[in-house]
Amino acid sequence: MRSKVVVGNWKLNGSLASNEALLKAVLREIPRQSPVACVVCVPSPYLAQARELLDGSGIGWGAQDVSRFDKGAYTGDVSGAMVAEFGSRYAIVGHSERRSVFGDSDAVVAEKYAAARRAGLTPIFCVGETLEEREQGRTEAVLARQVDALMQECGVAQLEGGIVAYEPVWAIGTGRTATSAQAQEAHGYLRGRIAAQGKEVAARLPILYGGSVKAANAAELFAMPDVDGGLVGGASLVAEEFVAIWRAAGAAGR
Ligand code: PEP
């Protein structure tokens, strides 16, 4: 049985005041113990605030990216160890916005994954195709390229204890969600690709869906056999929506 996870990705949003209001509202609804993990990935300056508000609660916290380097002359970067020092247990790597806006290549993303692991963090490794790639029938080839780059750099064993997020680029922040069948097809493909190198690792690996997940569509997506929860952007900024999505993961119960 795989663990279920719902992760909020706040992106470049928040302030001390609005974070506090949001986290306090979510905290009221999430119990200390649950079979469905609830996590928020906040902008790095707010990791201290996340620790202050969430320590001892049922909500985990993490960063949205980490440096591929551990230390040194890399102005602007934040290392995995720095993120971990604030009690974080998670870090997103390879989000499509990092890939497309900041030029993170497959190789760089794999290095970031390895850096997060070195720091003892659970990396949330994002993959997904653009609309053009889907329309050209290249979805599986793109997913294969992205996940193979990771397995080549780190070895399949490093996926044990990690998390994969399938996020079709055309569904992120667009309001256009993949159908549950499209999500299942991609998740099944990813699990099979990983299973070819590590059957047990693949069977235990949580694969989350991300791309315009809302309370209204979460239950249908999470009912799919290879969808183990969600990576949630916009809706994670609205407490009731985020909590309802987290509840839908619990209700999907497999
Ligand atoms: C994301 O940021 O990973 C994401 C899926 O965003 P949204 O839910 O807003 O589409």
Compute, in angstroms, the gap from residue 234 CA to the centroid of ligand 1.
Answer: 6
The finding on whether 182 has its CB within 6 A of some atom of ligand 1 is no
Rounded to whole angstroms, the Cα distance separating 90 from 84 reads: 8
- Annotated catalytic residue within 97, 129, 133, 167: 167
What are the tens digits of pLDDT across the range 39-82?
999 999 999 999 999 999 999 999 999 999 999 999 999 999 99
Rounded to an integer, the average pLDDT of 143-149 is 98
Say whether 95 is catalytic: yes
The finding on whether 230 has its CB within 6 A of some atom of ligand 1 is no
Compute, in angstroms, the gap from residue 12 CA to the centroid of ligand 1.
Answer: 12
What are the tens digits of pLDDT across the range 156-187?
999 999 999 999 999 999 999 999 999 999 99
CA 205 to chain centre: 13
Burial of 43 (0-12, 13-18, 19+ CB in 10 A): middle
What are the tens digits of pLDDT across the range 2-49?
989 999 999 999 999 999 999 999 999 999 999 999 999 999 999 999
Residue bearing the CA closest to ligand 1, atom 8:
233
Compute, in angstroms, the gap from residue 209 CA to the centroid of ligand 1.
Answer: 10
Rounded to an integer, the average pLDDT of 200-204 is 97
pLDDT at position 252, please?
87
The finding on whether 91 has its CB within 6 A of some atom of ligand 1 is no
Compute, in angstroms, the gap from residue 175 CA to the centroid of ligand 1.
Answer: 9
- Helix 180-195 to helix 215-222 angle (10° resolution) is 40
For the cut 90, the answer to whether the pLDDT of residue 1 exceeds it is no
pLDDT at position 217, please?
97
Rounded to an integer, the average pLDDT of 234-240 is 98
Residue bearing the CA closest to ligand 1, atom 3:
233
109 close to 93: Cβ distance less than 8 angstroms: yes
Ligand 1 atom closest to the CA of 212, numbered from 1: 10
Ligand 1 atom closest to the CA of 167, numbered from 1: 5
Compute, in angstroms, the gap from residue 169 CA to the centroid of ligand 1.
Answer: 9
pLDDT at position 22, please?
98
Provide the whole-model pTM: 0.97
* Helices then strands, each counted (H, E), the chain: 11, 8
- Percent of the chain at pLDDT > 70 equals 99
Token pair 């602007």 is at which residue? 76
pLDDT at position 3, please?
84
Rounded to whole angstroms, the Cα distance separating 194 from 197 reads: 6
Rounded to whole angstroms, the Cα distance separating 77 from 89 reads: 18
The finding on whether 128 has its CB within 6 A of some atom of ligand 1 is no
Distances (CA, A) of 1 to 196, 198, 225: 20, 17, 11
Rounded to whole angstroms, the Cα distance separating 211 from 56 reads: 30
Task: Please enumerate in sequence order all residues whose Cβ is within 8 A of that of 57, keeping only pairs 6 or more positions apart, or say none.
Answer: 27, 30, 32
The finding on whether 233 has its CB within 6 A of some atom of ligand 1 is yes
The finding on whether 126 has its CB within 6 A of some atom of ligand 1 is no
Backbone angles phi, psi at 5, to 5 degrees: -140, 135
What are the tens digits of pLDDT across the range 80-137?
999 999 999 999 999 999 999 999 999 999 999 999 999 999 999 999 999 999 999 9
Task: Please enumerate in sequence order all residues whose Cβ is within 8 A of that of 50, keeping only pairs 6 or more positions apart, or say none.
Answer: 19, 23, 40, 42, 61, 86, 87, 88
Q: Dmax of the chain from CA atoms?
A: 48
Say whether 187 is catalytic: no
pLDDT at position 254, please?
59
Residue bearing the CA closest to ligand 1, atom 1:
233
The finding on whether 44 has its CB within 6 A of some atom of ligand 1 is no
